[in-house]
Structure 1
Amino acid sequence: MKMYDLIIIGGGPIGIACGLEAQKKGLDYLIIEKGPIVNSLFHYPSNMQFFSSSEKLEIDEIPFISKEAKPKRDEALEYYRRIVTSNKLAIHLFEKVARVEKQAEIFIIETDKNTYNALNTVVATGFYDLPNKLNVPGEELPKVSHYYDNPHFYASQKLAVVGASNSAVDAALECWRKGSEVSLIIRGPEVGHRVKYWVRPDIINRIDEGSITAYYDTTVKKIRNEELVLNGPKGEITIENDFVLALTGYRPNFDFLEAMGIKLSNDDKRLPQYNPDTMESNVNGLYLAGVICGGMETHKWFIENSRIHAKIIVQAILQRQSIQSDT
């Protein structure tokens, strides 16, 4: 069986950056992605605009030209797709990694299609696959979704958006502008301060004028077919409801990390153990890249501040190879 120098799990922007760097340095590598190129970005809302400007989303100093200073989702899809295709990166799409096991000094990577051997492995899987559940009765109803795509679906409907971050606020505003009767359910006392600075005043003004109804210091107690039961400062209330967008954030696949032997902190942050100088985890030859490094602190790492991980990891691999060849 072929032996790869490096297998990269995850074909998002940081996984692509790792592939580019490995290719430049002459490593025999493979990127494995369970969906299309930049699968997570593909599943972002269709009208989403990034918080970062285009130059901060660039990888390997390849220019990202967008119509506005802050690009939209489709522009990002075009940018990263062109990088993959024009550089002829070695990438297997629609192939899901099921298990990673280290035997002696070799990593055995099993997918739903094949088995691979590698001397080193990078995990760059992001965090968008597992939503933070409300864990309330009725959450399994078809009317509930943890992902948002397009406001047209919710036109002329009573929509409850749960959350106070960028995704929740964007959805609330877009759906209201397309004719939804929007209620915003916020666990804290106000709209989140990490909401995009040009969007936060908009949502606050819509709430203040009564266009969008906000329930502060409120949680969802129960979801029913035609209504929503809430717990708020004045106790339990019931509101009419057709659909629920539970946009309460997402988390990494910690079971997947632990199955590989990666140690996580015992607190709520679930921070994976790694050396920031090399990005190598507590498992020799197993590296972490991108947002996965932040555990539950999914706001800590972005494309703009984690794209450097690719150079760090490949340099660490090359240094180890050099040492081994000298011994």
Structure 2
Amino acid sequence: MKNELDVIIIGAGPIGIACALECKKNGWHYLVLEKGALTNSIFNYPKNMTFFSTSEKIEIDDIPFISNKPKPNRDEALEYYRRVVTSNKLNFHLYEKVKTVTKNEDLFHVVSEKNEYIAKKVIVSTGFYDIPQLLNVEGENLPKVTHYYKEAHKYALQDVIIVGASNSSVDAALEIWRKGGNVTMVIRGESIGERVKYWVRPDIINRINEGSIKAYFNSEIIKINEFSVDIKTPTKNINILNDYVVALTGYLPDFNFLKSMGISISNDDKEIPTYNPDTMESNIDGLYLAGVICGGNETHKWFIENSRIHAKMIANHLKETI
């Protein structure tokens, strides 16, 4: 069965929700399709994660986000965005993955795992949290290796390697150490990342300096074994005992999905998709990009705080064409 709509929004994160609010305000027949849970990326964040931004900077459409502290945590964000969707009776289909998007003359044919749709316009706001950047080393497929971190209890009394020096890596290292894990960090660079949350960065540096958390800088894992890990350091290769590897090396957008729709991607390491910065329309007429997906591999460029405006930019352009 084919359902005809004005707009289909792919991705039910905060920016997808913002796009849905704009569609509702304008009276357009719209639908949001999401392959996972509502705000799936936030749902998969660590349980104790605190946002870098204050609550008012990640609220959408001037709907107040009240949190217990200036910087909200994961659970507060889930509650806020869920209430925005339910109280505004927005039209969402969750756990319905989009398989293909093709354009035939002036209409888009969208095929999901459950249905087929026809739409005048499509907005893609799929984020980048689903495809981890791999280490590409032998043993990475062992059960003890994960590219996602949820909570520390599992790692208590265990020898744990954290790969990376970003916010997620630092949060995991500190939480696991405080829950009794023996933590070693393996970091490609020469220091903890400059973009690490300012109230956390001194904590991890102090823990490393005092020896509570071991850190190998300018180093990388070269092989993961069942009970140990081989590490290349600036002076020599070493082997250390290990129970778990938590490789928080970042995530990538689904470039193949974008390319399958005909969206052009820059031919360099940044792999930035093509879009008009004034309207957010891609190189395909009627197909728009919103949120962090716009940054390609520069996943730090766009986030909730500075991409909320994409929804209104797209809506203003759609008013001229719907």
Q: Same fold (TM over 0.5)?
A: yes
Distance 2:3 2:125 in 1: 22
- The equivalent of 1:114 in structure 2 is 115
Distance 2:4 2:189 in 1: 51
- The equivalent of 1:40 in structure 2 is 41
- Alignment partner of 1:288 is 2:295: no
- The equivalent of 1:94 in structure 2 is 95
- The equivalent of 1:325 in structure 2 is none
- The equivalent of 2:236 in structure 1 is 235
- The equivalent of 1:149 in structure 2 is 150
- The equivalent of 1:132 in structure 2 is 133
8 Å CA contact 2:192–2:201 kept in 1: the answer is yes
Tell me the amino acid that sits aligned with residue 181 of structure 2: S
Tell me the amino acid that sits aligned with residue 203 of structure 1: I
Task: Please state whether the residue corresponding to 1:56 is helix, strand or coil.
Answer: helix
In the TM superposition, what whole-angstrom CA distance separates every residue of 1:36-74 from its partner, at most 9, and x where no partner exists?
A: 110110000000000000000100000000001000000
Unaligned runs of 5+ in 2: none
- Alignment partner of 1:219 is 2:228: no
In the TM superposition, what whole-angstrom CA distance separates every residue of 1:163-184 from its partner, at most 9, and x where no partner exists?
A: 0000000000000000000000
Tell me the amino acid that sits aligned with residue 23 of structure 1: K
Distance 1:307 1:230 in 2: 41
TM-score by length of 1: 0.98
- The equivalent of 1:28 in structure 2 is 29
Cα drift, residue 3 of structure 1:
1.8
Cα drift, residue 2 of structure 1:
3.2
Tell me the amino acid that sits aligned with residue 22 of structure 1: C
The CA RMSD over aligned residues, in Å, is: 0.6
Tell me the amino acid that sits aligned with residue 292 of structure 2: V
- The equivalent of 1:11 in structure 2 is 12
Task: Please state whether the residue corresponding to 2:221 is helix, strand or coil.
Answer: strand
In the TM superposition, what whole-angstrom CA distance separates every residue of 1:71-111 from its partner, at most 9, and x where no partner exists?
A: 00000000000000000000001100011111111111111
Cα drift, residue 235 of structure 1:
2.0
Quick one: percent identity of the two aligned structures?
A: 62
Distance 1:320 1:70 in 2: 39
Q: How does 1:162-311 map to 2 (within 5 A)?
A: 162-311=163-312
Query: How many equivalent pairs are there?
Result: 321
Distance 2:48 2:3 in 1: 42
Unaligned runs of 5+ in 1: 322-327
Cα drift, residue 260 of structure 1:
0.3
Distance 2:225 2:6 in 1: 53
- The equivalent of 2:60 in structure 1 is 59
Tell me the amino acid that sits aligned with residue 12 of structure 1: G
Distance 2:6 2:310 in 1: 17
Cα drift, residue 35 of structure 1:
1.1
Runs of 4+ in 1 over 3 A off after TM superposition: none
8 Å CA contact 2:3–2:116 kept in 1: the answer is no
Distance 2:97 2:151 in 1: 27
Cα drift, residue 188 of structure 1:
0.4
TM-score by length of 2: 0.99
